[in-house]
Amino acid sequence: MSRGSERLGITEDEHYRERAQRKKELIDRRIARATIERGVVVVNTGNGKGKSSSGFGMLARSLGHGLHCGVVQFIKGSFSTGEEAFFRRFDDLVDYHVMGEGYTWETQDRERDIAAASAAWAVARGMLENPDLDFVLLDELNIALTKGYVVLDDVLAALAARPERQHVVITGRGAPDALVEAADTVTEMRVVKHAFKAGIKAQKGIEL
């Protein structure tokens, strides 16, 4: 029993329940105030692992609710991934496009990278105009934006004009400030440790 509980003449269990009850009342008040129902823009950025993984987790959650979804991968594309293999099984609910040609240090061709990103953005823009899509994942779009392959103002305009109930998740390190400002939810992943720095290659189910 804590000293504070002893002074108040209550048990530790009673003190725990009181704190939990106060927390519940606070959360319930916040939930009651959250009355707006519309699509949200989520940005996952930062140098840490988990940006795309989180986006694909939300894609799985959306599919669990029977939502119609679209996916455009802006950078990845030179190798197969587990998420692509899995989500292509849901072709009745997922419009899946792998538009990248690999990381820029692999292609070593700026014009080719710009052309690939422009083609990917054309598909993505069509998704953002499609009222039949409930959820859109634009994987690694932030990289295309920071490198200037896609015009930021075009993206911001398309996000602002999209269907009211459509959710959009954008991933990739280096999210531009204007996109962060326009988003509803932003998470920055921070590196603490990474197996690759210890010489462990990318693993199926973890990175691939």
pLDDT above 70: percentage of residues in the chain: 89
Alpha carbons 155 and 149: distance in angstroms, whole number: 12
> pLDDT at position 8, please?
57
106 contacts: CB under 8 Å, gap ≥ 6: 78
Place of tokens 């290659």: 201
**Domains along the chain with CATH numbers:** 1-35 (no CATH), 38-198 (3.40.50.300)
35 close to 28: Cβ distance less than 8 angstroms = no
Q: How far is CA 71 from the centre of its chain?
A: 11
Tokens linked to 156: 């911001």
pLDDT above 90: percentage of residues in the chain: 63
Residue 14's pLDDT band (cuts 50, 70, 90): confident
Q: What is the chain's mean pLDDT, rounded?
A: 89
- Picking from 124, 117, 115, 133, the residue whose alpha carbon sits closest to that of residue 63 is 133
